[in-house]
């Protein structure tokens, strides 16, 4: 993975730029000691690391605006950062960049139950949005598995999803408005507390723009009443393909569970050793959850269990109480941590039509043998959002490159069957050089023209998302 050479002229001005930033920020909000900037050298894609020149931690939108004015004046690249859990390298710094972290901006600004909205600063973690309203019977639906740590800022930038997004939609379906600071330090409000904004759908451009367009500092989010009840059922199968076919049949039948999650044997084994959730010994399992009143739950589950039985499950376990429900979810929620305990891994993220699940799972198995690297699958199957975890040894020369090549083949496969390079983790640097597989030169140029409008000097998170060769002329000109 290549990154452009850092600009030595900017690095030479580090002390002066830090001094300018201290004029508009409290002393403790500017970090320049290399021992401390190292904390920002990578995100969740830890295979790639580079400490930034400086990191700044503002507390208000106005401070963000001042930072952007200074960086714009000195042409300093800026990498916005929430909690740094991106799995696509979206928050990876360059050596000449300033990391602009919004973690200190974590307040709740307004809750309005009459209109079912909450307005927060974007450094607030996803789970603590629900934490602020659950006592009153409300919740915020998008639930990335990283929700304890990841921030609303990163959720908006990556248009994040989660297990329960099958029913409730992803971030873009639950975001009503943002306050954003432009690269020139202008503060803009886009959207608001109502369903649809007037004019062009700029909110649609910003959600999923991966820190390329502006720094999002506040968000107005839709909140929902907690459902009357929810019940998961665990299904074990003796092959990945059969489990994949079962998912496809549930979706085809028109039942809408809140979640359909998939795990294969390597992930089941690892999570059992890690969390001891009591999962069955099988090749693949599904967790299917439905919500509603008791009668609604039963009606949906009857249909789902009926479909599952046609696929000869080795286990069908319906949660009988909240304790059993929590145990069913325990393994799935611990899966990424459990896999990380046994191996280095790279987590991929591609989306496919659900009907292609059996074929794609089989091909991933075949590719795993061809590349000689093991792979575990744990993903949001109902959305067709695949997360193959490729296991490799970071200390073995050549293994990372092999892992990258294997990953590229899987993502090409997703596109080949009519899917997409990214489901919810974004492009970042991880899929940047594969964008040509999905998009023509003209498509990419049209997308970069949108960045030109918001960020004419290409200071914001440049060298991400767009293949280096395609963006080279723009970055050089800027
Ligand atoms: C164990 C684990 C499980 C995960 N599970 C899921 C999952 O189920 N679903 C899912 O969607 N993702 C998942 N992720 C990926 C990750 O958590 C999400 O992409 C998340 O939204 C990133 O949020 P963050 O605050 O950590 O963002 P960061 O990593 O800090 O940044 C992500 C991107 O957002 C940009 N950005 C950050 N702040 C701003 C801002 N204020 N304004 C503009 N741009 C900004 C950054 O420049 C970067 O491009 C998982 C990650 C881990 C480690």
Greater confidence (382 vs 73) lies with 73
Distance of alpha carbon 379 from its chain centroid, rounded? 13
Asked if residue 120 belongs to a domain, the reply is: yes
Spell out the SS3 assignment of 224-281.
EECCCCEEEEEEEECCHHHHHHHHHHHHHCCCCCCEEEEEEHHHHHHHHHHHCCCCCC
pLDDT exceeds cutoff 80 at 376: yes
C-alpha to C-alpha distance for 84 and 150, rounded to whole angstroms: 7
pLDDT of 163 > 90? The answer is: no
Q: Are residues 20 and 90 in the same domain?
A: yes
pLDDT at 152 over 80: yes
Domain for residue 430, yes or no? no
Q: From the CB of residue 36, how many other CB atoms can be counted at a distance below 10 Å? A: 11
Whether 212 and 278 map to the same domain: the answer is no
pLDDT at position 119, please? 98
pLDDT of residue 42: 97
pTM of the model: 0.94
Number of domain units in the chain:
4
Whether 136 and 210 share a structural domain: yes
Average pLDDT of the chain, as a whole number: 95
Cα 382 to Cα 120, 121, 145, 329: the distances in Å are 30, 31, 15, 16
CATH number for the domain including 132? Answer: 3.30.465.10
For residue 198, the model assigns a pLDDT of 79
Neighbours of 19 (CB within 10 A): 12
Asked whether residue 282 is domain-assigned, the answer is yes
187, 45: one domain: no
427 located within any domain: no
CA 9–ligand 1 middle distance (angstroms): 31
Q: Which atom of ligand 1 is nearest to the CA of 149?
A: 26
Ramachandran area for residue 378 (φ above 0: left; ψ -120 to 50: alpha; else beta): beta
pLDDT confidence of 197, banded at 50, 70, 90? confident
Give distance in angstroms: CA of 160 to centre of ligand 1.
Answer: 7
Separation of alpha carbons 145 and 329, rounded Å: 11
Nearest Cα neighbor of 180 from 219, 228, 131, 134 is 219
Is 250 within 8 Å of 354 (Cβ atoms)? no
Q: Compare 341 and 137 and report the one with higher pLDDT.
A: 137
- Tell whether 406 and 381 lie within a shared domain: yes
Residue-range definition of the domain harbouring residue 15: 8-101
Q: Do residue 75 and residue 203 come from a single domain?
A: no
Based on the domain organization, do 361 and 247 belong to the same domain?
yes
- Distance between CA atoms of 220 and 196, rounded to whole angstroms? 12
Domain boundary pick from 101, 128, 145: 101
**Tens of pLDDT along 424-439?**
999 999 999 999 999 9
Which atom of ligand 1 approaches the CA of 152 most closely? 25
Of 67, 82, 101, the last residue of a domain is 101
Q: Whose CA is nearest to atom 14 of ligand 1?
A: 146
Same domain as 93, residue 24: yes
Among 92, 219, 56, smallest CA distance to 151 is for 219
**The domain that contains 302 carries what CATH number?**
3.40.462.10
pLDDT for position 199: 84
Question: Do 194 and 92 fall within a single domain?
Answer: no
Structural domain ending residue among the three candidates 101, 123, 149: 101
Instruction: Give a yes or no: residue 210 inside a domain.
Output: yes
Ligand 1 is surrounded, with C-beta below 6 A, by: 43-44, 79-87, 90-91, 102, 122, 144-146, 150-151, 153-155, 157-158, 160-162, 210-211, 215-216, 336, 424-425, 461
Indicate the range of 187-196, 263-272, 322-331, 397-406 predicted with least confidence: 187-196
Structure confidence at residue 233 (pLDDT): 97
* 429 occurs within a structural domain: no
Q: Find the range with the poorest average confidence among 167-176, 190-199, 295-304.
A: 190-199
The owner of tokens 């062009």 is 200
Q: What CA–CA distances, in Å, run from 419 to 172, 258, 437? A: 19, 22, 12
- Rounded to the nearest angstrom, the distance between the alpha carbon of 22 and the centre of ligand 1 is 28
96 and 118: one domain? no
pLDDT at 227 over 90: yes
Residue length of the chain: 478
**What integer is the mean pLDDT of 269-278?**
93
Residue 369 has pLDDT above 90, yes or no: yes
Do the domain assignments include residue 62? yes
Distance of CA 110 from the midpoint of ligand 1 (Å): 23
HEC states along 60-98? Answer: CHHHHHHHHHHHHHCCCCEEEECCCCCCCCCCCCCCCCE
pLDDT band at residue 477 under the 50/70/90 scheme: confident
> Is 341 exposed, middle or buried, given 0-12, 13-18 or 19+ CB atoms closer than 10 A?
exposed
Task: Give which of 281, 385, 388, 382 is closest to 331, Cα–Cα.
Answer: 281
The reply to whether 333 and 381 lie within a common domain is yes
Based on the domain organization, do 258 and 221 belong to the same domain? no
Nearest to 247 by CA among 360, 338, 112, 344: 360
Residue 422 lies in a domain: no
| CATH number of the domain that residue 95 is part of | 3.30.43.10
- To 5 degrees, how large is the angle CA 362–CA 368–CA 371? 140
- Give the CA dihedral 413, 415, 417, 419, nearest 10 degrees: 130
Number of the ligand 1 atom closest to the C-alpha atom of 216? 42
- Write out pLDDT tens, residues 278-298: 999 999 999 999 999 999 999
Burial group, residue 225, by CB count within 10 angstroms (0-12, 13-18, 19+): exposed
């Amino acid at each position: 993975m290549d990154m452009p050479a850092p600009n030595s002229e900017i690095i030479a001005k580090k002390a002066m730029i830090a001094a300018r930033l201290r004029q508009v920020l409290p002393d403790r909000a500017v970090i320049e000691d290399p021992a401390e900037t190292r904390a920002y050298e990578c995100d969740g894609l830890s295979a790639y690391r580079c400490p930034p020149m400086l990191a700044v931690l503002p507390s208000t939108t106005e401070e963000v605006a001042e930072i952007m004015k200074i960086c714009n004046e000195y042409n300093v690249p800026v990498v916005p950062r929430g909690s740094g859990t991106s799995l696509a390298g979206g928050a990876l710094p360059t050596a000449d960049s300033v990391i602009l972290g919004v973690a200190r901006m974590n307040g709740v600004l307004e809750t309005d139950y009459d209109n079912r909205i909450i307005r927060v600063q974007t450094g607030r973690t996803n789970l603590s949005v629900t934490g602020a309203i659950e006592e009153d019977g409300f919740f915020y639906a998008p639930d990335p598995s990283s929700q304890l740590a990841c921030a609303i800022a990163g959720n908006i930038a990556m248009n994040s999803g989660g297990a329960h997004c099958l029913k409730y939609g992803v971030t873009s379906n639950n975001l009503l408005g943002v306050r954003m600071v432009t690269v020139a330090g202008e503060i803009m409000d886009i959207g608001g507390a109502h369903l649809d904004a007037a004019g062009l759908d700029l909110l649609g451009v910003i959600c999923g723009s991966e820190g390329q367009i502006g720094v999002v500092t506040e968000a107005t989010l839709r909140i929902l009443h907690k459902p009357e009840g929810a019940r998961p059922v665990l299904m074990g199968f003796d092959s990945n393909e059969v489990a994949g076919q079962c998912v496809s049949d549930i979706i085809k039948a028109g039942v809408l569970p809140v979640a359909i999650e998939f795990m294969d044997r390597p992930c089941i084994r690892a999570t059992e050793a890690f969390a001891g959730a009591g999962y069955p010994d099988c090749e693949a399992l599904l967790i299917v959850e439905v919500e509603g009143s008791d009668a609604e739950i039963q009606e949906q589950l009857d249909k789902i269990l009926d479909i599952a039985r046609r696929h000869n499950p080795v286990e069908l376990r319906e949660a009988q109480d909240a304790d059993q429900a929590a145990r069913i979810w325990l393994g799935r929620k611990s899966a990424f941590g459990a896999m990380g305990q046994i191996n280095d891994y790279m987590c991929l993220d591609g989306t496919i039509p659900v009907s292609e699940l059996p074929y794609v799972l089989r091909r991933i198995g075949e590719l795993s043998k061809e590349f000689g690297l093991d792979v575990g699958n744990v993903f949001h199957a109902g959305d067709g959002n695949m997360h193959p975890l490729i296991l490799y040894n970071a200390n073995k020369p050549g293994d990372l490159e092999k892992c990258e090549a294997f990953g590229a083949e899987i993502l090409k496969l997703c596109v080949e069957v009519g899917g997409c390079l990214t489901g919810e983790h974004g492009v970042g640097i991880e899929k940047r050089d594969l964008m040509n597989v999905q998009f023509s030169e003209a498509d990419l140029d049209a997308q970069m023209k949108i960045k030109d409008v918001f960020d004419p000097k290409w200071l914001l998170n440049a060298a991400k998302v767009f293949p280096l060769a395609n963006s080279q002329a723009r970055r050089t000109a800027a």
